[in-house]
């Protein structure tokens, strides 16, 4: 038996409600496919709205007791989960590659990154603070404390199957919240394995309930209308985020939204071009370009644009495209046919409008949802590819003549998740970054994600932060108690 068959053969495929695995109430299942072959990998339970309500029932029942547990006890569960995920990193990595497609080396990096949220929030749980103060007029005493917000609905996307789950589950556990976790229907398997690991680490029944569904809108609808749900944390596309916020507004439900991006990658004429090219490769090609923080628009000073373009195209041409399970592969498939059609459509549209293909640019023959590393020159801001999230290995290059134009171009988008800037001049770096509208900025680096830092966007990229000291606040409520002057 291969490690793949053993892994898939032992994986739970049901709903996890109140500490037990069970089928959907009507017995329905849906298939999860390998994007490298389009072949099915597993069939998992397809939850109904009734199943989702049963999961919320369990979360609600568990909340009072869980919320009273000692922070240290919650920390230790998270720390054990960190150790277990780390020990089982190869299994997690293989599963991520099978269902999501990225090369094994990248999956291993995601497992390390995802596990780090468990460790980081194990260290944050005992630090939930409060304060006691005298009112300015010397009268009342002011006592401020934090308490868990309560049962939370966590909805994750398919692109980082473990990290997007741990980035929500870990702070929710640390804060003392129970939860219903709904993974993306394209990549639910990693979440199911993670659920087993968290149970093994000692998480009590009812704290983490997991519902997989092929029809998320219908299935979770009753939860958003249910008084017992106190928090929605969503990572996904901006259009779905908007719909969920509209539904959440009916009950004034507390929300966190980690939405889409359209990151500018600014290269000034004084940048170290070798570093800028390496940074661009990292910012563009990490996760095959299927990342909310992927560089979406290369904004390059006119005087270095030709050189940058040539060097970037050469580096992009080095990628080995293939199934993520093959040892030599450095670029896996896109997630599905729809995604590939979108990427190809944006490239074709740009070319029709005058962009030049420097490398890549055409859909390969054969099975699997592959798309080659692509560099486009002569891209203009009015092209769709400059305004939309590409979510694929395509680097559109635009030129600018001065810093003010670079800033204007960087901000000419509804999104504001991350921006990257390459320059050797610190004053210039600070001047530009202070004017760029983004929740995160990378200076002379193509990678900013870090569990110890607040991740999140401004404008249509979302609300709230995940990771850092800020991440746990999303799952805490501030309560103030006024006490008469003693």
Catalytically active residues are: 258
- Contact with ligand NAD (CB under 6 A): which of 236, 322, 368, 393? 236
Q: How many residues does the chain have?
A: 486
- Contact with ligand NAD (CB under 6 A): which of 389, 421, 423, 460? 389
Q: Which two tokens stand for residue 353?
A: 């409008």
Q: Which is nearer to ligand NAD, 92 or 160 (CB)?
A: 160
In the region spanning residues 433 to 462, those forming contacts with ligand NAD, defined by CB under 6 A, are 457, 462
Q: Which is nearer to ligand NAD, 92 or 158 (CB)?
A: 158
- Contact with ligand NAD (CB under 6 A): which of 51, 116, 258, 474? 258
Q: Is 240 exposed, middle or buried (0-12, 13-18, 19+ CB in 10 A)?
A: middle
Is 159 a binder of ligand NAD (CB under 6 A)?
Answer: yes
Of 364, 378, 292, the C-alpha closest to 331 is 364
Q: Report which residue's Cβ sits closest to ligand NAD.
A: 236
In the region spanning residues 285 to 344, those forming contacts with ligand NAD, defined by CB under 6 A, are 292
Is 56 a binder of ligand NAD (CB under 6 A)?
Answer: no
**Centroid of chain to Cα 442:** 17
Q: Identify the residue whose tokens are 């040892």.
A: 327
Residue 239 has φ and ψ, to the nearest 5°, of -60, -40
- Contact with ligand NAD (CB under 6 A): which of 217, 249, 303, 478? 217
Is 264 a binder of ligand NAD (CB under 6 A)?
Answer: no
Compute the distance between CA of residue 195 and CA of residue 216 in angstroms, rounded to an integer.
19
Query: What is the DSSP secondary structure assignment for residue 420, as one 8-state letter?
Result: E
Q: Which is nearer to ligand NAD, 291 or 305 (CB)?
A: 291
- Cα dist. 471→32, 85, 165, 468 in Å? 31, 21, 13, 6
Q: How far is the CB of 159 from ligand NAD (least distance, A)?
A: 5
- Contact with ligand NAD (CB under 6 A): which of 47, 417, 429, 460? 417
Q: 209: which strand partners? A: 180
Q: Which is nearer to ligand NAD, 184 or 295 (CB)?
A: 184
Compute the distance between CA of residue 177 and CA of residue 123 in angstroms, rounded to an integer.
16
Contact status, residue 452 vs residue 468, Cβ threshold 8 Å: yes
In the region spanning residues 167 to 186, those forming contacts with ligand NAD, defined by CB under 6 A, are 182, 184-185
Pseudo-torsion of CA 75, 77, 82, 83, nearest 10°?
120
Each residue 459-478 as x (binds ligand NAD by CB under 6 A) or -, in order, gives ---x----------------
Interface with ligand NAD by CB under 6 A: which residues?
155-159, 164, 182, 184-185, 216-217, 220, 235-237, 240, 243-244, 258-261, 292, 389, 417, 457, 462
């Amino acid at each position: 038996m291969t490690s793949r068959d053993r892994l898939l053969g032992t994986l739970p495929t049901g709903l996890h409600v109140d500490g037990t695995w069970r089928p959907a109430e009507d017995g329905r299942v849906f298939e999860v496919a390998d994007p490298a072959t389009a072949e099915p990998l597993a069939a998992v339970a397809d939850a109904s709205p009734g199943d989702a309500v049963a999961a919320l029932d369990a979360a609600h029942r568990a909340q009072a007791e869980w919320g009273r547990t000692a922070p240290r006890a919650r920390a230790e569960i998270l720390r054990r989960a960190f150790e277990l995920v780390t020990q089982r990193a190869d299994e997690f990595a293989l599963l991520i590659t099978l269902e999501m497609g990225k090369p094994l080396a990248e999956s291993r990096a995601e497992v390390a990154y995802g596990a780090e949220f468990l460790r980081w929030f194990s260290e944050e749980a005992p630090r939930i603070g409060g304060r006691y103060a005298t009112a300015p007029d010397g009268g009342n005493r002011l006592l401020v404390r934090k308490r868990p917000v309560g049962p939370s609905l966590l909805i994750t996307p398919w692109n980082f199957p473990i990290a997007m789950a741990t980035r929500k589950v870990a702070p929710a556990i640390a804060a003392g919240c129970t939860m219903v976790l709904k993974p993306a229907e394209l990549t639910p398997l990693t979440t199911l394995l993670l659920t087993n690991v968290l149970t093994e680490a000692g998480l009590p029944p009812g704290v983490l309930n997991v519902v997989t569904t092929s029809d998320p809108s219908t299935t979770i609808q009753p939860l958003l209308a249910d008084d017992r749900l106190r928090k929605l944390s969503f990572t996904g596309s901006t259009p779905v985020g908007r719909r969920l916020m509209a539904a959440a507004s009916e009950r004034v439900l507390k929300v966190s939204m980690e939405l889409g991006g359209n990151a500018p990658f600014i290269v000034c004429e004084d940048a170290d071009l070798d570093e800028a090219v390496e940074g661009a490769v990292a910012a563009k090609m990490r996760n095959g370009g299927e990342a909310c923080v992927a560089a979406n628009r290369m904004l390059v000073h006119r005087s270095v644009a030709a050189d940058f373009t040539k060097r970037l195209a050469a580096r992009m041409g080095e990628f080995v495209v293939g199934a993520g399970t093959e040892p030599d592969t450095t670029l896996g498939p896109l997630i599905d046919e729809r995604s590939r059609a979108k990427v190809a459509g944006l490239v074709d549209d740009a070319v029709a409008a005058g962009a030049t293909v420097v490398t890549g640019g055409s859909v390969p023959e054969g099975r699997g949802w592959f798309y080659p590393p692509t560099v486009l020159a002569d891209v203009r801001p009015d092209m769709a590819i400059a305004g939309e999230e590409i979510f694929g290995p395509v680097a559109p290059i635009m030129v600018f003549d001065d810093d003010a134009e670079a800033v204007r171009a960087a901000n000419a988008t509804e999104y504001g998740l991350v921006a990257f800037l390459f320059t050797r001049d610190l004053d210039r770096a600070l001047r530009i970054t202070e004017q760029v509208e983004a929740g995160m900025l990378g200076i002379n680096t193509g990678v900013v994600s870090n569990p110890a830092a607040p991740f999140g966007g401004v404008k249509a990229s979302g609300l709230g932060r995940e990771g850092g000291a800020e991440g746990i606040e999303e799952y805490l409520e501030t309560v103030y108690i006024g006490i008469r002057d003693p």
